[in-house]
């Protein structure tokens, strides 16, 4: 049997993901182009990221600042948008601002304030785009704002002059079936609506849904889905 070149497999993966998004978006009465795909390239080699760009992917997500820094050296001429989707330690905030276009994992007012202080120097010329990570399931294994805390701290978060809060992000629980993830996505959407009703400076973005459950997330209003294995295949064990 002839093996499939990696680039061809990525093209086919993108076509399948776009078809799933189109179907799910139609069920929620939205156009498919209302949903952005962030290709999660954690542990993925630089040449496969290049193949993904050639296949049509334009945004990529990394979990760690160090890995993005290593890829930057190998992919310096690549035209793509980079999202930090993993936890950010405060001592890596400056480097994250330099390396990422969007930081999706802002999980505390203290971190947001640190990014606000560093942004003018680390990336002059505009506001730093961020999402606020919310632990809507109150899962002790997950990071993020507890909804009640976010409601209390919303005004100071949105008042930071060098940070543009484009919306909310959540990391869902491990569930047995995609359908079981639906309450998480509904909760994040409802929280966004409630918060935007109080302060329209909060952007409308909803980053939710990954390979296992992005179809359900799109049905419930996701504007960003973070898909890795459906594009690049299984990661090496332990990574």
Q: Is the pLDDT of residue 56 over 50?
A: yes
Name the region of 168 (left: φ>0; alpha: ψ -120 to 50; beta: rest).
Answer: beta
Which residue matches tokens 């594009």? 231
Q: Are 238 and 201 in contact (CB under 8 A)?
A: no
Please give the mean pLDDT across all residues of the chain.
94
Q: Is the pLDDT of residue 235 over 90?
A: no
Find the mean pLDDT for residues 219-230. 97
Residues 8-41: pLDDT tens digits?
A: 999 999 999 999 999 999 999 999 999 999 999 9
Instruction: Give the pLDDT score at 194.
Output: 97
Q: Is the pLDDT of residue 239 over 90?
A: no
Which band of pLDDT confidence, cut at 50, 70 and 90, is reported for residue 98?
very high
> pTM of the prediction?
0.94
From start to end of 111-227, where are the E strands?
A: 128-133, 163-169, 205-207, 224-227
**Tally of domains within the chain:** 1
Query: Using CA atoms, how far apart are residues 220 and 80, in angstroms rounded to an integer?
Result: 27
Question: Is 238 inside any structural domain?
Answer: no
Residues 164-195: pLDDT tens digits?
A: 999 999 998 888 899 999 999 999 999 999 99
Q: Is the pLDDT of residue 7 over 50?
A: yes
Which band of pLDDT confidence, cut at 50, 70 and 90, is reported for residue 6?
low
Question: Is 86 inside any structural domain?
Answer: yes
Which one has a higher pLDDT value, 123 or 173? 123
The CATH number that applies at residue 155 is 3.20.20.10
- Angle of helix 147-158 relative to helix 182-198, nearest 10 degrees, comes to 40
Instruction: Give the pLDDT score at 2.
Output: 38
Q: Is the pLDDT of residue 236 over 70?
A: no
Query: Using CA atoms, how far apart are residues 171 and 145, in angstroms rounded to an integer?
Result: 12
Write the CB contacts of 104 (distance below 8 Å, at least 6 apart in sequence): 61, 83, 84, 85, 130, 131, 133, 169, 207, 224
Question: Which of 179, 150, 148 shows the shortest CA–CA distance to 167?
Answer: 150
Instruction: Give the pLDDT score at 190.
Output: 98
Which band of pLDDT confidence, cut at 50, 70 and 90, is reported for residue 3?
very low
Domain encompassing residue 85: 6-232
Question: Is 195 inside any structural domain?
Answer: yes
Question: Is 43 inside any structural domain?
Answer: yes
Q: Is the pLDDT of residue 67 over 80?
A: yes
Question: Is 133 inside any structural domain?
Answer: yes
Question: Which of 68, 153, 63, 144 shows the shortest CA–CA distance to 107?
Answer: 144
Question: Is 1 inside any structural domain?
Answer: no
Question: Is 141 inside any structural domain?
Answer: yes
Instruction: Give the pLDDT score at 4.
Output: 46
Instruction: Give the pLDDT score at 1.
Output: 36
Find the mean pLDDT for residues 63-75. 94
Q: Are 71 and 50 in contact (CB under 8 A)?
A: no
Instruction: Give the pLDDT score at 77.
Output: 82
Find the mean pLDDT for residues 80-86. 97
């Amino acid at each position: 049997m002839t093996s499939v070149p990696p680039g061809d497999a990525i093209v086919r993966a993108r076509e399948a993901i776009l078809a799933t998004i189109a179907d799910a978006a139609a069920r929620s009465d939205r156009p498919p182009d209302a949903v952005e795909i962030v290709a999660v390239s954690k542990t993925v080699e630089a040449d496969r990221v290049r193949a993904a760009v050639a296949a049509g992917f334009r945004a990529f997500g990394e979990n760690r600042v160090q890995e993005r820094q290593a890829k930057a050296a190998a992919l310096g001429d690549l035209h793509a948008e980079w999202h930090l989707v993993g936890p950010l330690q405060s001592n890596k905030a400056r480097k994250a601002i330099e390396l990422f276009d969007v930081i999706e994992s802002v999980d505390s007012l203290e971190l947001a304030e640190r990014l606000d202080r560093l942004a003018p120097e680390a990336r002059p010329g505009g506001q730093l785009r961020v999402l606020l990570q919310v632990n809507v399931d109150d899962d002790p294994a997950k990071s993020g704002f507890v909804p009640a805390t976010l409601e209390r701290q919303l005004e100071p978060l949105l008042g930071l002059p060098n940070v543009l809060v484009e919306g909310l992000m959540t990391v869902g629980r491990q569930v047995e079936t995609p359908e079981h993830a639906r309450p998480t996505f509904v909760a994040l959407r409802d929280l966004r609506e409630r918060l935007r009703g109080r302060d329209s400076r909060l952007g409308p973005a909803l980053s939710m849904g990954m390979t296992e459950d992005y179809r359900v997330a799109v049905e419930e209003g996701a504007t960003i889905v973070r898909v890795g294995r459906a594009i690049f295949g299984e990661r090496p064990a332990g990574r």
